[in-house]
Structure 1
Amino acid sequence: MLHNQFSEGSESISINSGVIHYSEQVQENINFNGIVFKPNFDEDAYLPKRDWRKLNAEEIKILQPNKKKNDSNTIYLGEIPDDLKKLYQNMKLTDCNNRNEVFAKFRENERATIELNSSMANFLMTLSNNKPFKIHFLGSNFPNLEVVACDTTVLPKGYTEKDMKFLGIHNDGTQYVSTYKLYTSGNRLTINLGNQDRYFFFINITLTQALNMLKEKISVKEHEIDITNIAKYYFKYFPDYPIIKIKQKPYHYYIAPTDNCFHDGSTLGNTDLDVIIVYFGAFQF
């Protein structure tokens, strides 16, 4: 479900006709701040088809939340408070050209960083429902990327952009959690701290629903399907299930159960560095 507090309502949301294997979609070179490379992808990566359109009335109705909404089955959309927005603007993160410059802004402004952390904690407490939360990461992405997620933990020390392999539409989590237990994993809150709109993709089914759909096609036991490979099998058998795309303006945030749904971010069409901050918790309005 989608709990949307954006002032523009459904105008910020699009839908397409499904996914396509990355090898079937032409990718342009990324050229930013003197770095030029063509994105590489995981061998099982699937990307959204580019036939985006606005939602129709029936699709808007399907996505509307009901009394059963919670942190494991709902995407929440909102904008951070003005006072918090001003604190981030004072950090001048939009002047940064790379990840190191982003971190330097916080190191160079220790007092402002302390004030910002305190204000952020107060804001997150209003969404945490008295449950614990923690920062996951502060990071950046290149502009003009169709998808942004990449598992950097498997890359060699001193890796370059050419070593990165993007995951495509995927789910988070580890192999140690059962697919049927992912509803207990909480969610993440991601704020756009950059200078341009970015995008969030998701599919409006839980991984339990995805697994049940696969059971109608193949033996999930025989194929040893778990959360590490479910995306590969799901997109092989259900490539035409639509993707939802949300425009995330600067200082807008989304809250999503990223362990429990297929998703990714995008900076396609952008020219400036994408800067985000992510928190883990069990957030909801």
Structure 2
Amino acid sequence: LAVENYALLRRLWTEDVVDWQGKYRTPLQGFTSTPRPLDGVAPFVWHGSIRTPEIAEQAAYYGDGFFHNNIFWNIEHTAQMVNLYRRRYEHYGHGQADQAIVGLGGQFFMRKNSQDAVNEFRPYFDVAPVYGHGPSMEDFTEMTPLTVGSPQQVLERYLGMVEHVGHYQRQGFLIDHAGLPLKTVLEQLDLLGEILPEMRKGYAEGRPAHIPEAPTHASLVEKARVAGTLTEHRTVGVDDVTGQSPYEAALKGAN
């Protein structure tokens, strides 16, 4: 279903009128999808998966990003999935395996003092449906990326992911888990903010120059412009989040 739907989505992004018939949804006849992609350039897509090799294969086939959930499985499983994606990315001619665009999930509970973190999080862990009635919190944190401790412990554990999956472009975190109250979630965000500069610095250290950053809309527009595939009839504009369209700015600069 995911493979078929995504193949259709790409056609809807790149073709003005689509005739399509598949296995899992109603056929389309003379269908035009609106609104069209900004600047006529489809967004960069991350394909997320926990344990489905077909999703890693799909991401590699299109040269898209692969985001591994990395929450409930051991790091060996995560590395196996990421390495599959990297090999197939290279197989399809998008670049070297280590240049594939990878993201990882993660989860933590932090307090300044590690024992305070353990004591405070345990009652939530023990009754949360997704955690409770299974391994102890100590076993779960050993077997999975869940890290309960001090900010330094969280920092060191997630910087260590590079040793298992190679250099990667995105690290996401699940913070509002296990029924934590809003006040506590916001405190977790504050603590993450304190270690974020060091985390970014750590991920950047030792990264070879040939390993790219994850594409942005602006970089995709520029790539299309250089390739001569940027179409001037597409709608352009300004939004209050990203500002002026890079394509519109380029057009104004040329006039």
What is the TM-score of this pair, normalised by structure 2? Answer: 0.20
Larger radius of gyration, structure 1 or 2? 2
What is the TM-score of this pair, normalised by structure 1? Answer: 0.18
Work out which structure has the larger RCO, using CA pairs closer than 8 Å and 6 or more positions apart in sequence.
1
